Chain A
């Protein structure tokens, strides 16, 4: 029901990407983040965007963990900090934990939120599929 209060749930929006930028992230703080989120179901990865085909290097992994936290460096050539990213489902889960007061915010006291993406998924009927090929170029050019 469409009331005055707008929420992600009422509008069918989901959190898709959350990143926090650390100008400097020392090893001790990084280890805290890795261990803290590991217990909450996140595997951790290092990513270096310096290379065109950047790949994730696993830091701490458990096959039972369903989500990922990424420590990304060289996001731009001019910024030398570290971006801590929760992508896709991991972003949605991070936000769910935040709403349930399960995020220890002092771990992020030296960081600033740099990205908070939302998405809306419109289900596509079978007969609509063909037209998408005409629609996509219209919105991407």
Chain B
């Protein structure tokens, strides 16, 4: 390694030199340092894009940046469903044909697609069977995209500082009578190394998710998309925000358990969970709606090459 560095340094190949050394640095300290301490949050941040421990073949996935949404916003105007559709939209557009245009020095993908095609991949986000209603809602969502509302939930300061979707047109094709969208999307949205990849908890065949399932599954993703590898779920405080019956709270806890077990199967977390009730560590399969009453702590698993 040091021989290569010598050569690259003298040859002035700084891009290659830095790339090699950064990878080496991250990989070395990734094996050396423990992640469950806040002092190594920076290392977890560097390792996440390179982790190799996810079982991505088992399920459809969603990618996300670090998410920062204030809890007051969550209870107020924020619509988790639309944010999740945004994550799905990013994935959907990755596979579409495009041409590139430059606006103000930044590269944008110009993509044209049928609204119905996006509706087909995001249908699980609608409870209604009414096609007209779903089409209407999908068009509303696409219009909302341009306001940068969803990207502002990501913590990346570059994304926040730039218009990621400067242009979006919705129109009806005269020939085929179908709705089309022509959209410009910042190229870097596609190059970005998203730190998190999740099993798509919202892509469920044949059944529609109810409001609580949506809320809890989104909460799991929101809390997990944080910089610290130690993910704290303060359930008592969480449920205090919602005035619901005990039975419903019990059902919601069960959704928490199922969601994090799915994360475990996917390879995202360690099998040990710390309970806030008595500070005990237990195996993930032993979680119950009773023992998670106060909350629990998950430990993110990050294994890199």
Q: A-side interface residues toward B, CB under 8 Å?
A: 1-8, 10-13, 98-99, 101, 105, 108, 112-116, 118, 120, 122, 128, 131-132, 135, 138-139
Residue of B nearest to A2 (CB): B193
Cα-based distance from A12 to B18 in the complex (angstroms):
12
Residues facing A in B156-199 (CB within 8 A) are 156-159, 188, 191-193, 195
Of B6-14, B116-124, B247-255, B289-297, the one with at least 4 CB within 8 A of chain A = B6-14
Residue of B9, B26, B33, B188 with most chain A CB atoms under a 10 A cut-off: B9
A-B contact list, 12 entries, CB within 8 Å: A2-B156, A6-B18, A6-B22, A6-B23, A10-B22, A98-B12, A101-B12, A108-B10, A128-B38, A135-B37, A138-B34, A138-B37
| Closest beta carbon of chain A to B281's beta carbon, Å | 17
Cα-based distance from A114 to B6 in the complex (angstroms):
8
Q: Does A11 lie within 8 Å of B46, measured CB to CB? A: yes
Cα-based distance from A80 to B78 in the complex (angstroms):
68
Q: Which residues of A contact B156 (CB under 8 A)?
A: 1-2
Residue of B5, B22, B49 with most chain A CB atoms under a 10 A cut-off: B22
Task: Report the contact-size class of chain B (Cβ under 8 Å from the partner).
Answer: 35 or more
Q: Does B158 lie within 8 Å of A1, measured CB to CB? A: yes
Cα-based distance from A139 to B32 in the complex (angstroms):
8
Give B1-37 as 1s and 0s: 1 = Cβ < 8 Å from A's Cβ atoms.
0110110011010110011011101100000111001
Q: Does B2 lie within 8 Å of A113, measured CB to CB? A: yes
Cα-based distance from A129 to B191 in the complex (angstroms):
37
Given contacts A4-B191, A113-B6, contact A12 B39 (CB under 8 A): no
| Closest beta carbon of chain A to B199's beta carbon, Å | 22
Residue of A nearest to B14 (CB): A99
Cα-based distance from A99 to B26 in the complex (angstroms):
22
Cα-based distance from A114 to B12 in the complex (angstroms):
17
Cα-based distance from A29 to B223 in the complex (angstroms):
60
Q: Does B10 lie within 8 Å of A13, measured CB to CB? A: no
| Closest beta carbon of chain A to B104's beta carbon, Å | 16
Given contacts A2-B195, A135-B37, A135-B39, contact A114 B46 (CB under 8 A): no
Q: Which residues of A contact B34 (CB under 8 A)?
A: 138-139
Residue of A nearest to B10 (CB): A105
Cα-based distance from A11 to B157 in the complex (angstroms):
14
Given contacts A113-B5, A128-B39, contact A11 B193 (CB under 8 A): no
Q: Does A139 lie within 8 Å of B19, measured CB to CB? A: no
Residue of B39, B156, B192, B195 with most chain A CB atoms under a 10 A cut-off: B39
Residues facing A in B37-74 (CB within 8 A) are 37-39, 41-43, 46, 49
Residue of A nearest to B32 (CB): A139
Q: Does A112 lie within 8 Å of B22, measured CB to CB? A: no
Residue of A nearest to B156 (CB): A1
Q: Which residues of A contact B9 (CB under 8 A)?
A: 98, 113, 116
Given contacts A12-B42, A105-B10, A128-B38, contact A1 B188 (CB under 8 A): yes
Residue of A nearest to B7 (CB): A113
Cα-based distance from A118 to B18 in the complex (angstroms):
10
* Inter-chain pairs besides A4-B193, A12-B42, A113-B9, 4 sampled, C-beta below 8 Å: A3-B191, A13-B21, A98-B9, A101-B12
Q: Which residues of A contact B32 (CB under 8 A)?
A: 139
| Closest beta carbon of chain B to A103's beta carbon, Å | 9
Q: Does A8 lie within 8 Å of B192, measured CB to CB? A: no
Cα-based distance from A118 to B26 in the complex (angstroms):
11
Cα-based distance from A3 to B159 in the complex (angstroms):
12
Residue of B nearest to A3 (CB): B191
Q: Does B192 lie within 8 Å of A3, measured CB to CB? A: yes
Cα-based distance from A10 to B46 in the complex (angstroms):
10
| Closest beta carbon of chain A to B155's beta carbon, Å | 11
Cα-based distance from A122 to B43 in the complex (angstroms):
10
Q: Which residues of A contact B39 (CB under 8 A)?
A: 122, 128, 131-132, 135
Q: Which residues of B contact A116 (CB under 8 A)?
A: 2, 5, 9, 21
Q: Which residues of A contact B49 (CB under 8 A)?
A: 2
| Closest beta carbon of chain A to B94's beta carbon, Å | 15
